[in-house]
Amino acid sequence: MKIRILLIFLLLSSFVFAQNDEENIKNTIHQLFEGMKTGDSALVKKTFHPEVKMQTIFTNKEGLTKLHDEKLENFLKAIGTPHDGIWNEKITFTSIQIDEHLAHVWTDYQFYLDDQFIHCGVNSFQLVKLNEQWQIVHLIDTRRKMNCNEKEFNR
């Protein structure tokens, strides 16, 4: 009987930790987009590991698929520099996979400048948990203006 109780306790506690990790991961990603929306580069910087890899996949005017690397410093500068309009990326969490200190998150998104639709795509995040904090170590996204699903977005 004691073994059953112990097993049930262990299963429940691992479920609770997984739920907490999932919420903390979502909070990290929401913090990134809140910082983008408010132009707060310091808030955004907290979500990234210092050695983050940032990339975008897009199709150019000639119809060729291109991969673009972005430096964190340039991204933070763009966010923190006053610009016209509010950058509002509306996301939907599609999947979250966690294995101890590693997580993969997939989100659909629509990007708006103020209320004007600019593009849509998906974000693929790799996060690591260091010192009990989830940080983004790799972010790669797609960008397109066509075939954007009309989904319910969180932000």
Instruction: Give the model confidence (pLDDT) of 40-64 as tens digits.
Output: 999 999 999 999 999 999 999 999 9
Question: 7 pLDDT band (50/70/90 cuts)?
Answer: very low
CB atoms within 10 A of CB 39: 16
Pairing assessment for the beta strands 65-70 and 48-59 based on DSSP bridges: antiparallel
* pLDDT > 70? residue 35: yes
Considering the chain, what is the average pLDDT of its residues?
Answer: 89
CATH dotted code for 2-143:
3.10.450.50
Single pTM value for the model: 0.83
pLDDT in tens, 124-153: 999 999 999 999 999 999 999 888 876 555
Tokens of 10: 């262990």
Domain spans of the chain, in order of start: 2-143
